[in-house]
Amino acid sequence: MRSQGHAGQVLITGCSSGFGKKMVERFLKAGWKVLATSRKPEQMEQQGNLWILPYNVASETDRADITRCVTEICPNGLDCLINNAGYGLAGPLEALSETQIRQQFEVNFFAPLLLTQALLPSLRKAKGRVINISSVLGFTGMPMQSLYVASKFALEGLSESLHYELAAHGIQVALVEPGGFRTGFADSMDWAAGVMPDHPLYHQQFEGYRRFLRRVSTREKGKDPAQVAEVVLELASRATIPLRVRVGDDTQALYYIRRTLPQQIADAVLRRVSRHILQAN
């Protein structure tokens, strides 16, 4: 069993950019053996102790290849699995195509679920841990992002259940809930591809939300995603880990609103925030 503070072997998904890229850098610097999945391996630099796995975690065939690689590279078991791969889908529910709806869940929920399932024998062997990258939207709703929010709520429910289910097996499970960080998340957003309802209010809200995201994505003072990578490394290195870790002032503020204020007051505050987002200038 890996002792506290001792570098081990980690699989990180979604490593081309954002949190995944920063986590790869930080774990390598700390002396870990890193297996990193990426659908764009050309964006990654090959270096010592790094195995770049050019696979798509949403593909059944690719997940089988990932599992085979883990078995071959980590014969004594996998110390840590970090389910980071994911993306955002935006738009009113009426305008989302069924293909988009299903794909959002394939990548953000079913892929980490099935990859975790496949790697449990390896994680059990090493008494490892699973760290799922959720979001501030894993515990609060957001207009125009209902499917992204739903996929993260589902990931949270899965993770909490596994946190208790796998404890007796020596496998620890945790959620990391980042707020807004400089990851390019807004720039890579998938937008509604269905038919926009012929209703002026929808168009007004949709354009307001687009303006809000453009404003957020162009801020020069966005928080460095390296902060999240540092938190994840610290979790992976500890002897025992909590179920949830919230990262960012915005996440902490929203958690306070959702969990501390009376429900009616919290709802009133979040309604006002939602109106501000949908009417952004």
List, in sequence order, every residue forming a beta bridge with 50; answer none if it has no partner: 34
Q: Specify whether the CB–CB gap between 233 and 28 falls below 8 A.
A: no
Q: How far is CA 110 from the centre of its chain?
A: 13
The structure tokens listed for 121 are 């024998």
- Distance, in Å, from the CA atom of 114 to the CA atom of 61, rounded to the nearest integer, reads 12
- Distance, in Å, from the CA atom of 269 to the CA atom of 180, rounded to the nearest integer, reads 19
Q: Give the residue numbers annotated as catalytic, written as ranges.
A: 16, 134, 148, 152
Contacts (Cβ under 8 Å, ≥6 apart) of 141: 149, 270
Per-state percent for the chain, helix, strand, coil, to nearest 5: 50, 15, 35
